[in-house]
Amino acid sequence: MSTVSTAQPQLLSQINERSVLRILQSSGPCSRADVTRQLGVTAPTVSKAVATLLRSGLLEEFDAPCNGRGRPARQLRLASETAQVLGLVIDAGHCRIVLASLDGTLMDDCEITFNTPDAYPDLIETASGHIESLLRSGVQTLGLGVSLPGLIDSNAQIGLLSPNVPVTNGHSPSRDLSSRLGLPSVLLQECHALCLAERQYGNARRLDDFAMLDATTGVGLGVLTAGRLLTGKNGLAGEIGHLPVKPNGRLCGCGRRGCLETLASDSALARLVSDRLGREIDIEEIVTLVRMGDLAIGRELGQVTKHLAFALATSINLFNPSTLFVCSRMFDLDDSLLDRLREQTEGLALKPSFESCRIERARGSKREGTIAGIIEHLTHSRVQLDMPVSHGIQ
């Protein structure tokens, strides 16, 4: 029992630190007195938690304007000038590195894009070189979030099978970059990253039950239920893209044929259009040409939408989300696409499940997901209990 009695004070301190962070995340900057009032604990308890968080670099203090009367009031906020976090999106074709403050504000002029190298050591070498160029003197870099498509063992932090970025199979880019750069890091499955992005930056801010269907490069699903990401035993849940849909269909990156993601993604549309035009064309160029009126893709878009509706109906039937967000550039091709997709999904999904679910376009991005992921990792890791924490404890 001595283990419990010695562990408890440390655990209670961590819970209080997490609670202080939550208040500042949800309410924005506030004074120690405000935090004490909202937490409902004693001032010394808050002071102790704040002191630890200031030492760790997660919080900073600043003088708020005081309308010309009295001394400026000292306020607390998530570190925005004294600390930064980094995100790395690893994807087919290209990778992106982004920089943000701990309150999630992205510094767009610091974004770096590079082609995804063909060899894993080159990926780590190139990414770490770019990341080092973003480290700033006088600003503490607190951590790095890395997103990857495919099957990620979230416990072991290893990419197991990434049909679209196979160069990462069997590797842990987060751990390798962490040891090279001396930074805490976390590896996120990209659909999980998109869920976190939608909750921090998009339209899922107050939602605890929603799903995210990513239909960009491949097709993947992230599900947040009761406020927690559905991961399965070791993080492999949600790989809807490799449902076998078309016997003897197109070869998929996973090695099988006719998987859903070969039929229902931005990449699937690009392949269909490329086949017709007799040249390689990607989704960005398709969007540009269609919007200029120089390319008609109605037939191909109809085919892909039909399969995308199947993916939506399957997600709604299986997981009963309050909102299903869909991430795709195809919405930029046709302003009526979302309505058509809703209609087609209604024809495939179970009626009660469909009627209790809204279908919306996702607003969060993968780059935002890496930042939301590392912020969640840095703030959540202060509490080791697997339970929601809403109140401070003294």
Taking the C-alpha atoms of residue 152 and residue 156, their distance in angstroms, rounded to an integer, is: 9
Beta strand pairing call for 73-78 and 59-64:
antiparallel
Write the binding mask 244 to 263 for Zn ion: x where contact by CB under 5 A, - elsewhere.
--------x-x----x----
Who contacts 161 (Cβ-Cβ below 8 Å, separation ≥6)?
150, 151, 169, 254
Question: Which of the ranges 95-103, 153-161, 171-179, 240-248 carries the binding residues for Zn ion, by CB under 5 A?
Answer: 240-248
Residues 352 to 371: which contact Zn ion by CB under 5 A?
A: none
| Residues contacting Zn ion: total by CB under 5 A | 4
Largest CA distance in the chain: 76
Q: Which is nearer to Zn ion, 242 or 367 (CB)?
A: 242
Question: Which of the ranges 30-38, 117-125, 242-250, 349-357 carries the binding residues for Zn ion, by CB under 5 A?
Answer: 242-250
Q: Which is nearer to Zn ion, 264 or 273 (CB)?
A: 264
Nearest Cα neighbor of 222 from 144, 140, 336, 327 is 327
Amino acid at 371: I
Q: Which is nearer to Zn ion, 263 or 287 (CB)?
A: 263
Q: Which is nearer to Zn ion, 79 or 151 (CB)?
A: 151
Question: Which of the ranges 105-113, 170-178, 234-242, 271-279 carries the binding residues for Zn ion, by CB under 5 A?
Answer: 234-242
Q: Which is nearer to Zn ion, 242 or 307 (CB)?
A: 242
**Contact call for residue 311 and Zn ion (CB under 5 A):** no
Minimum Å distance from CB 303 to Zn ion?
A: 18
The single residue among 199, 242, 307, 366 that binds Zn ion, judged by CB under 5 A, is 242
Contact 172, 162 (CB under 8 A): no
Minimum Å distance from CB 207 to Zn ion?
A: 29
Who contacts 34 (Cβ-Cβ below 8 Å, separation ≥6)?
23, 27
- Summarize as ranges the residues that interact with Zn ion (CB under 5 A): 242, 252, 254, 259
